[in-house]
Amino acid sequence: MTATPLRARIMPYQKTAAALATENDIPLQGERVRETDTGREKTGDGETHYNDLDYDDDPAKLDGVTETGLTVLTGDPAAARAAIGAVSTTDIAAAVNNVINGAPGALDTLNELATALGDDANFAATVTNALAGKAAAAAVLLSLAANPDQLATGTITRSATSAATGFSVSWPDGATGTFTGTESTSFPGAIDSYVVTHVLSAVTTTYTQPALTRDSSGAVTNRPAIVVS
């Protein structure tokens, strides 16, 4: 028996899945056929038997379907986007905002970040090396501050017992400064504490040697660490 095409209908032609499979007619071009028990639909092409048609919600049929086309079918733009993996402008804006995450306007693009880092692809290594250099230089200055007589320049001011209580200093990095010593009251002629300054490019660093502790013979038994400020 030759199957006859179904008549065109405004409403879907509806029967149970089993009944439609038994009929296995050829739906007309564009005709919708709905299974009442499953809720699934097929759309005819005027040539293919019902059993050989794909369901309209078959994922394979969504390949290449536009968001606009799906919106017409579903009436739901969000569902249409989800079906084809598309995103809205709102989704894109939210993703960008998540990346920026409140960064200030001057640092919210990759180019601005690169400029802030001096366009240095090895910025971390550059900073590490610079800090290491500063640490080494600071150690040298601290060592000199512990022996300020090496820095003395010009006239030295001395107490009545010849203790050096003041003089100008010249540092190897070009800085200048002064030395001010406090003479020991128990052992005249000896300096118990002092302050030496390091002035470079209008920046002053002060090295303070707290008071030394001496034994009964005047020998130093404790020398507190120099304080840098």
The pTM of the full predicted model, rounded to 2 decimals, is 0.46
Q: What is the pLDDT of residue 210?
A: 97
Q: What is the pLDDT of residue 71?
A: 53
In the three-class reduction of DSSP (H, G, I as helix; E, B as strand; rest coil), residue 184 is classed as: coil
* Residue 100: inside a domain: no
Cβ atoms < 10 Å from Cβ of 123: 13
* Residue 111: inside a domain: no
* Residue 140: inside a domain: yes
Q: What is the pLDDT of residue 128?
A: 82
- Per the structure, the complete domain to which residue 182 belongs is given by 131-228
Please give the single-letter amino acid code of residue 22.
Answer: T
* Residue 22: inside a domain: no
Q: What is the pLDDT of residue 84?
A: 64
Q: What is the pLDDT of residue 74?
A: 54
* Residue 41: inside a domain: no
* Residue 208: inside a domain: yes
Q: What is the pLDDT of residue 68?
A: 55
Q: What is the pLDDT of residue 191?
A: 96
Q: What is the pLDDT of residue 16?
A: 94
CA dist., res. 51 & res. 3, Å (int): 12
pLDDT digits (tens, 9 = 90+) for 85-134: 667 788 888 888 888 888 888 888 888 888 888 888 888 888 887 777 77
Return phi, psi of residue 217, to 5°: -95, -5
CB-CB contact of 147 with 179 (8 Å): no
Q: What is the pLDDT of residue 197?
A: 97
How many domains in the chain?
1
CA dist., res. 47 & res. 29, Å (int): 8
* Residue 3: inside a domain: no
Instruction: Give the residue ranges of the chain where pLDDT is below 50.
Output: 6, 8
Of the candidates 57, 50, 39, 40, the one whose C-alpha atom is nearest the C-alpha of residue 6 is 50
112-120 own/partner pairs: CB under 8 Å, 24+ apart: none
Q: What is the pLDDT of residue 187?
A: 96
